[in-house]
Chain A
Amino acid sequence: MPVLQKKTMLLLPGLLIVGALLIVPIVWLLGLSFVSEGRLSLEHYQRIFDDPTYVKSFAITFQIAGTVTGLTILLGYPLCFWMLRLKPLWRGVALTCILIPFWTSLLVRSYAWLILLQRRGLVNTWLQGLGLANEPLALMYNVTGTVIGMTHILLPFLVLPLFASMQRIDGDLMRAAAALGATPLFAFWRVFFPLSLPGLTAGGLLVFVLSIGYYVTPQLLGGGTTVMAGQLIQRNVELFSSWGAASAVSVVLLGIVLLLFWVMNRLVPLDRVFGG
């Protein structure tokens, strides 16, 4: 092994703290997940597949993450496409509007939705005022509330990488397609959309992967009924002190998360996804 360069010493403090507080605990949890009553066992993993509570929790986690990803794409793609046509000043304004929620605390944003979605809240008042609902709808303390809040919170994570990748698409290609007789829709579908796919996939994967590990928003807006995988971990630790169960769920969740990050990294380098 070559002697470590002096420069790599600069990495040590960072690696040390991440190693001690992230890698070591994860290895610890990994070990713990295979032990039951002092013996090696797969019991904790078995439970994830057998116990209806666990199966249901993982199912709802993927269901919510999928819905949130779909909604952010539905809202984010047209937004990005529209922003490309804006003059630099208005594009700056639009980007600031996207960054404002990005900067604001997750807890504050979940709280905002808690006020907006309550029975006598603003959204219900508007829906009834517009005649879209006859009586206050149950918009929170259920899956609906969780999905609305998470879509709002995660939308910037789709928009920022997607917009950055759309900006790199050469506009001349669309003009060339038009010059060759393609209708705008055809040019979009055959030229622009395929070129935007890597950015869209990376952004979508990022939203999905962040969604499946969510805790705060489902806990506040989901009420007691929507138990996502993150809440399953917390409950096992805080209510039942069953570390084995909590660690097995953590390991499965983390495995999925890291796998998806790995796939994402193949499509678009991580620093581009996070760097915006």
Chain B
Amino acid sequence: MEANHGSSGFASLLLAVLGIAVLVFLVMPIFIVVPMSFSATRFLSFPPTALSTRWYLEFFGSPEWTRAAWVSLQIAFVTCLLATPIGIAAAYGIHTASGKFSRAAYTVLMMPLMVPHIIVAVGIFFIYARIGANNTIVGIIVAHTMLAVPFVLITSLSGLQGFDMTQERAAQSLGANRLEAFLKVTAPQIKGSIIASALFAFVSSLDEVVVSLFLSGGASSTLPKRMFVALRDEVDPTIAAISSMLIIASLAIGLAAMIATRKRA
């Protein structure tokens, strides 16, 4: 489809203008927040009339905000440590086994992506209320792990699909056991996908709002929960500073994941 199939110049131009406009619409809101977060005034203007790091200092000087950020980072880290092996094991199981069971298991494991988060949140809240797990960091970690499993599953499955499984069987016929064969032969070759899936698991937990809104509170409040609650009351400019930092973090993680999976190909 790369060749120009004889359409008029005007139509092509119109299409290009439209395409670029949509790309600007996609990217602009995200990049406008960053300069605005350096506004000196309480009302965030663009471009800022006077620059300052006031809202960043506000964030780092507030025990509430920094505590929430720390809680979120810890939760995201442990979620990543748990969801990555669970997801990879499942991907490996689905990839090597075949038939109805693995197909059904795949659908079940993808469910966290399909069920609206508000329903997930209400459901877990109800279960946690019975066992006293609401407002605990462990409770949020387990919930976030469940939500992150499909991300790991998709990413590592696509890695496994590009890998020639006969290599692993060859290793086994040469005397390696299954685990050895996976760790020494398969894992190094799908390393990119494994790294990418761990990064996606981390970021999915770091950004998660709705479930944390229900399950976390007080000292266990995550950063997105505090941001959401603050936004409901007033548009606090500190959030612009936090958002900018989150944007930079997501971009770095997203690019890292993209580079990691590209190397594999």
Q: Bound complex: CA of A56 vs CA of B232, how far in Å?
A: 23
Contact, CB under 8 Å: B118 / A112: no
Let me know if A268 is at the binding interface, CB within 8 A.
Answer: no
Say which residue of A11, A22, A79, A237 sits within 8 Å of B146 (CB atoms). Answer: A22
Q: Bound complex: CA of A83 vs CA of B26, how far in Å?
A: 15
For the complex formed, measure the closest distance between the CB of A176 and the CB atoms of chain B, giving whole angstroms. Answer: 10
Say which residue of B108, B232, B247, B254 sits within 8 Å of A18 (CB atoms). Answer: B108
Q: What are the residues of chain B within 8 A of A234 when measuring CB–CB?
A: 118, 122
Say which residue of B3, B30, B102, B231 sits within 8 Å of A101 (CB atoms). Answer: B30
Contact, CB under 8 Å: B15 / A82: yes
Contact, CB under 8 Å: A85 / B2: yes
Q: What are the residues of chain B within 8 A of A15 when measuring CB–CB?
A: 90, 105, 108-109
Contact, CB under 8 Å: A28 / B116: no
Q: Bound complex: CA of A28 vs CA of B122, how far in Å?
A: 11
Chain A residue at smallest Cβ distance from B36: A115
Q: What are the residues of chain A within 8 A of B64 when measuring CB–CB?
A: none
Q: Bound complex: CA of A24 vs CA of B146, how far in Å?
A: 13
Contact, CB under 8 Å: A8 / B246: no
Contact, CB under 8 Å: B122 / A29: yes
Say which residue of A23, A105, A209, A233 sits within 8 Å of B119 (CB atoms). Answer: A233
Chain A residues touching B, majority SS? helix
Say which residue of A78, A94, A209, A274 sits within 8 Å of B15 (CB atoms). Answer: A78
Contact, CB under 8 Å: A100 / B251: yes
Q: What are the residues of chain A within 8 A of B6 when measuring CB–CB?
A: 178, 184
Contact (A258, B89) CB under 8 Å given A23-B108, A275-B158: no
Q: Which of A184-230 contact B (CB under 8 A)?
A: 184-185, 187, 209, 212-216, 219-220, 230
Q: What are the residues of chain B within 8 A of A18 when measuring CB–CB?
A: 108-109, 111-112, 146, 149
Let me know if B258 is at the binding interface, CB within 8 A.
Answer: yes
Size category of the binding interface on chain A: 35 or more
Say which residue of A17, A28, A104, A167 sits within 8 Å of B142 (CB atoms). Answer: A17
For the complex formed, measure the closest distance between the CB of A42 and the CB atoms of chain B, giving whole angstroms. Answer: 20
Q: Mark B115-148, 1 if CB is under 8 A from A, else 0.
A: 1111110111111000000000000001101100
Contact, CB under 8 Å: B2 / A261: no
Contact (A8, B93) CB under 8 Å given A82-B19, A85-B2: yes
Q: What are the residues of chain B within 8 A of A22 when measuring CB–CB?
A: 111-112, 115, 120, 123, 146
Q: What are the residues of chain A within 8 A of B62 when measuring CB–CB?
A: none
Q: What are the residues of chain B within 8 A of A257 when measuring CB–CB?
A: 114-116
Q: Which of A106-151 contact B (CB under 8 A)?
A: 106-109, 111-116, 118, 120, 122
Contact, CB under 8 Å: A175 / B3: yes
Contact, CB under 8 Å: B247 / A28: no
Q: What are the residues of chain B within 8 A of A101 when measuring CB–CB?
A: 26-27, 29-30
Say which residue of A11, A85, A106, A111 sits within 8 Å of B89 (CB atoms). Answer: A11
Let me know if B1 is at the binding interface, CB within 8 A.
Answer: yes
Say which residue of B5, B90, B110, B149 sits within 8 Å of A10 (CB atoms). Answer: B90
Contact, CB under 8 Å: A14 / B86: yes
For the complex formed, measure the closest distance between the CB of A251 and the CB atoms of chain B, giving whole angstroms. Answer: 9
Among the listed stretches B51-59, B168-176, B203-211, which one makes contact with chain A, having 4 or more residues with CB under 8 Å of it? B203-211
Say which residue of B115, B118, B157 sits within 8 Å of A233 (CB atoms). Answer: B118
Given contacts A78-B18, A106-B209, 6 further A-B contacts (CB under 8 A): A15-B109, A26-B115, A100-B251, A113-B29, A169-B1, A230-B116
| Chain B residues packing against A (C-beta within 8 Å) | 1-8, 11-12, 15-16, 18-19, 22-23, 25-27, 29-30, 32-33, 36, 43-44, 46, 86-87, 89-90, 92-94, 96-97, 101-102, 105-120, 122-127, 142-143, 145-146, 149-150, 153-154, 157-158, 203, 206-207, 209-210, 224, 227-228, 231-232, 235, 239-240, 243, 246-247, 250-251, 253-254, 258
Q: List 29 A-B contacts (CB under 8 A).
A: A8-B93, A8-B97, A8-B105, A10-B93, A13-B86, A17-B149, A20-B127, A21-B124, A22-B123, A28-B127, A82-B16, A85-B1, A100-B254, A108-B33, A109-B29, A114-B231, A175-B3, A184-B11, A187-B5, A213-B119, A216-B209, A216-B228, A233-B118, A233-B119, A246-B122, A250-B118, A253-B119, A271-B154, A274-B113
| Chain A residues packing against B (C-beta within 8 Å) | 5, 7-11, 13-15, 17-26, 28-29, 75-76, 78-79, 81-85, 87, 94, 97-109, 111-116, 118, 120, 122, 152, 155-156, 166-167, 169, 171, 174-175, 178, 184-185, 187, 209, 212-216, 219-220, 230, 233-234, 237, 243, 246-247, 250, 253-254, 257-258, 261, 270-271, 274-275
